[in-house]
Structures are given as C-alpha cells and as structure tokens.
Structure 1
Amino acid sequence: MGEIHVESTVRIDRAPEEVLAVLHDIAGQHEWWPGQYRSEPLDHDDDGRVARALIGNDVKIAKDDFEVVYTHDDNPDGALGYRWAIAEPSTLQRSQTGSWQVRPDGAGSEVTLRLMVDSTLPLPGFLLKKALQDTVNGATEGLRERCEG
C-alpha cells in the first residue's frame, strides 16, 4: 500500500507547558486517545521522560501492539514537543512515525499531531487513510478535552 500521511491541528486554551505536561504523561495517554487501550512506559531517558513504551491501538479495522521509541527535542521550526517511531515492524505496520508539536497561540496553544503509517493491511488506501485521519482527529480532540477539562 505504501506510506499514509495524516495530520490534525487543534487550538487548546492552555499554555504550552500545560499541554506538554499532558503529552509527556505517556502512561496516561490511553485515557484520552480514542482507540488506544495500552500505553505502558518501558524505559526513561536521563531527564525522566519516557524513552520507550508499549502501545496498543484498536482503530476499528484492526488491533495492534507495538513498541515506540521517543525522541524528546525541539522541532527544527521552534515548536515544542516530541517525535516517535516504532522500534520494529509490528503485525499491522511496516513502519510508523509521528510527532506532537506545540506552539504558543495567544494565551493558549496550537497543537499539531502528524502521523505516518506504512500498513500491512490488505485494504484500499482510502479506507486506511480515513481510519488514520479519524485516529489523529480523535487524538487531538481528546487532548483538548483532557487539557481544558
């Protein structure tokens, strides 16, 4: 099928530091990310941030468990956040990369989630893209609801 790229941006009425605190709580991610049933930290970096985690997703058309490796650094364009990639191919993915980017926006934040997946599922590309777009839209909306409480 090849790589599928999707993204979603949302404005959150909280300071970037507050949004980042929620994003860095990988262990609690499954509580607000629709379809995610597991987010289990496996290792931390020297600054105490999650470096590796086991993630489980059920996105209506498929269920998959995989290990994620995180890179915590500022993005080249000055946004705050982090990036990730799966450690090795999983049952349903040859590869996956993603990023959360948080930028100040007045008294709040503009938050963008980008996701790329190369899936092994034998489905038409438009169905896979819709499932992934629904996933990132749900994640950004879930993050907004979690942050704004």
Structure 2
Amino acid sequence: MADQSTQSIHIEAAPAEVMAVIADFAAYPEWAGGLKETSVLAARDDGRAERVRFTLDAGIVKDTYVLQYDWAADGLSVSWELVEGQTQKSQRGSYQLRAVPGGTEVVYTLAVDLTIPMIGLFKRKAERVVMDTALKGLRRRVEGRD
C-alpha cells in the first residue's frame, strides 16, 4: 500500500471556480506540469469526466495511465483511482475544497505506488514536488496568472 501525502493551498476564488478548473481536463497540459496530453474516455450524464487518460512526461518518469473519478454531489470534492497504468501500480487522490474568507482552501491528497523500485526518501520528495507543482499550477490557472 502506498503512503499518502497531503498538501493544501489558498486560492483567491470561489470553490465553484476552482472546481471548474479541476474538471477541465482538456486544459491540464497548459498548467499541470509534466502532463503532455489528456483524453476523457467516459463522462457522466452531467458532463463531468468519469474516466480520463493522461500522458505524463516528467523527466525520468514517463507514463500513460487512466484514472476513474468520483465527483461529490456538493461540488466540493473529487476523488480518483488508477484503473490502468504502465509505471504506476496504484494511485489514489482527491481534492477537497472549503470556502474560507477571501477564497478557497484546497486540500490535495495523493498516494502513488510505482512498478519501479524507488528509495522511500526519493519517492516522498517526488510526491512533494508533484503535489507542490499541481497546487501552484492550479492556483495560477484559477487566479488568471498563467
């Protein structure tokens, strides 16, 4: 079982604006570091993606993988799980949004287990970099700074 990492960030926008950027998978290559291509494979009746294929090229780590998404009815959270991957054995993650004065607190949780062996220290550092890059990219995109 993969260890779980959590980070949070404050974004100066309403939760609905933040979730709209999270749900816009076609735009991920424009702001999410390392992602070269995304493709929605299946969507719910309301248009939200259920299954998405990602092509990642983050230097030494390259992968094509598919995630299954579960969107909360209140619009304040989304979680996902790996259903297909080459370099990853498992991936579970979520974004939890909470309205706060001046915007939204975004909590990002991620647990990844790779098929290639990696020393724990390097794996934790890589997870921190991935999460930090994703959260800062999300903030720039939502706040219109990219």
TM over 0.5: yes
The residue number in structure 1 matching 2:115 is 120
Moved over 3 A (4+): none
The residue number in structure 1 matching 2:101 is 106
1:94 aligns with 2:93: no
CA distance in 1, matches of 2:127, 2:57: 11
Range moving further from structure 2, 54-63 or 6-15: 54-63
1:142 aligns with 2:137: yes
CA distance in 2, matches of 1:8, 1:57: 21
Which residues in structure 2 correspond to 1:1-149 (within 5 Å)?
Answer: 2-73=1-72, 80-88=76-84, 90-149=85-144
TM-score, normalised to structure 1, is 0.90
* Alpha-carbon shift at residue 79 of structure 1 (Å): 7.8
CA distance in 1, matches of 2:95, 2:56: 18
CA distance in 1, matches of 2:41, 2:75: 26
- Kindly tell me the number of residue pairs found equivalent between the two proteins: 144
TM-score, normalised to structure 2, is 0.91
Structure 2 segments unaligned to the other structure (5+ residues): none
2:16–2:75 CA contact under 8 A, matched in 1: no
CA distance in 2, matches of 1:126, 1:60: 18
Write out per-residue CA displacement over residues 2-61 of structure 1, whole angstroms, 9 at most, x where no aligned residue: 513222210000111111111111111221111111221111101110011101222333
1:30–1:37 CA contact under 8 A, matched in 2: yes
Sequence identity percentage:
35
CA distance in 2, matches of 1:3, 1:18: 31
CA distance in 1, matches of 2:121, 2:57: 18
Instruction: Say which SS state the counterpart of residue 123 (structure 1) adopts.
Output: coil
Structure 1 segments unaligned to the other structure (5+ residues): none
